[in-house]
Amino acid sequence: MLQVHEISENKEQYIKALAKRGIDATQMLEDVIKVDEERRSTQARLDETLAQSNTYSKEIGKLYQSGKAAEANELKEKTTVLKETSKELQEKLNTTEATLQQLLYTIPNIPNELVPAGTDENDNEETFREGDIPTLDKEALPHWELAKKYDLIDFELGVKITGAGFPVYKGKGARLQRALISYFLDKNTAAGYTEYQVPHLVNEMSGFGTGQLPDKEGQMYHVGVDDLYLIPTAEVPVTNMFRGDLLMHNELPITCTGYTPCFRREAGSYGAHVRGLNRLHQFDKVEIVRIEHPDNSYKALDGMVEHVQNILRELKLPYRILRLCGGDLGFTSALTYDFEVFSTAQDRWLEISSVSNFETFQANRLKLRFKDTNGKNQLAHTLNGSALALPRVLAGILENCQTPQGIKIPDVLVPYCGFDMID
């Protein structure tokens, strides 16, 4: 969430920056400034009214002590009026503050200057590519056919139990899933990230804290009776562990990793591009989260990108990195790099990770601050990334590593899953 004083000070700059997202933010920002002026004016009138009422209350006591009951009663009548006025002003202030908050919730983050202008994924910038795309046998199959051939994943059984987008992993498919989770967690903890196991449901405050609410409300599963939300990513509970905290500067950075299932409604997703593991309602993901000093957050972002690269190199999967344009940038992000693995059997790139810096956007919602070396409270920067999302990594392994003899497991995973070939 943007800070009101920064909107007032940088309105024209913010309008220009948000235009990268394809948004004319002029009216939104002007509405924020106008409502904030009304809020400050109401607060000033309320403070003045309460001060006057307090002054009268002190004078009333003195007048009674001096035997001036008539004058005291006259001031009591004025105090009654002031109390009614202060009540009305407090109600107006509450309404104005709520209106201001709702306006701020609708404004996305300001894109970093490195973010290219653009309207959709076609305008993203490729910044890096590595790995040879294998030449497959003409009989090569997409992963959903391989999963059926080798009895690894049962999509129809998932439909029977729950519905489309909830696959059942079986045998070596389940073991490979578990191997990937353990491997990703081990890589992350070896890089200094502390592992956490977190709840898979969160309350409304957590959804607002990291920006899924109200922006992605329609994409989240809501448990109405208890007013809880199934998490779309471990980012939500992990980052919210620090909601409301005031940290010391020497506690930064804080680095976390965690495995969770993720739940997304993915409303409106249809077509061949969502077959098999390409788009699911429930999937597994290992996440990394950082709480950083603002001076260090972009260096940390580069480090996170390099970390994901190292994992993909060990898996020997061909990948590329994209810098997302304004039109494809997430609501809360200031700068995002997407990783994509090439699916040879599908002849297309599949997104497997997003690594993002949110700067102070989430921290302002979370009220996540740190005390700097001068003793001043500052908002921290938050970052997160997938390391990694499993479905499309698994799809990439099945498709790119298939041979006429079977599917060759990447060497780095063999100690985790206990086999080197699916045949």
If you write DSSP's letter for every residue of 321-385 in order, what string do you get? Answer: EEEPPGGGS-TT-SEEEEEEEEETTTTEEEEEEEEEE-TTHHHHHHT-EEE-TTS-EEEPEEEEE
Element of type H or E holding 398? helix 390-400
What class is the 4-105 domain?
A: mainly alpha
Produce one character per residue of 196-214: b if its CB has 16 or more CB atoms within 10 Å, e if not. bebebebeeebbbbbbbbe
3-class DSSP string for 48-117: HHHHHHHHHHHHHHHHHHCCCHHHHHHHHHHHHHHHHHHHHHHHHHHHHHHHHHHHHHCCCCCCCCCCCC
Q: Do domains 4-105 and 121-422 have the same CATH topology?
A: no
Measure the CA–CA gap between 267 and 281, rounded to whole angstroms.
9
pLDDT of residue 237: 98
Using the CB atoms, write b or e for 341-378: b if 16+ within 10 Å.
bbbbbbeebbebbbbbbbbbbbbbbbebbbeeeeeeeb
Cα–Cα distance, 286 to 275 (Å, whole number): 22
- What pLDDT does 171 receive? 97
Which ranges of 191-281 does DSSP label H, i.e. alpha helix?
A: 204-210, 235-240
Element of type H or E holding 222: strand 222-223
- In this prediction, the residues of the chain whose per-residue pLDDT falls under 70 are 267-273
At 116 the pLDDT is 96
Structural domain boundaries of the chain? 4-105, 121-422
At residue 128, the 3 state secondary structure works out as: strand
Residue appearing with tokens 């992000």 = 333
Copy the structure tokens of residue 135: 């030449």
Amino acid at the residue 182: S
Q: Which residue has the tokens 């139990």?
A: 161
Q: Which of 245, 273, 235 is nearest to 395 (CA)?
A: 273
**How is residue 18 written in tokens?**
């948000």
Q: CA 237 to CA 199: how far, in whole Å?
A: 7
CATH of domain 121-422: 3.30.930.10
pLDDT in tens, 89-128: 999 999 999 999 999 999 999 999 999 999 999 999 999 9
The pTM (predicted TM-score) of the whole model is 0.92
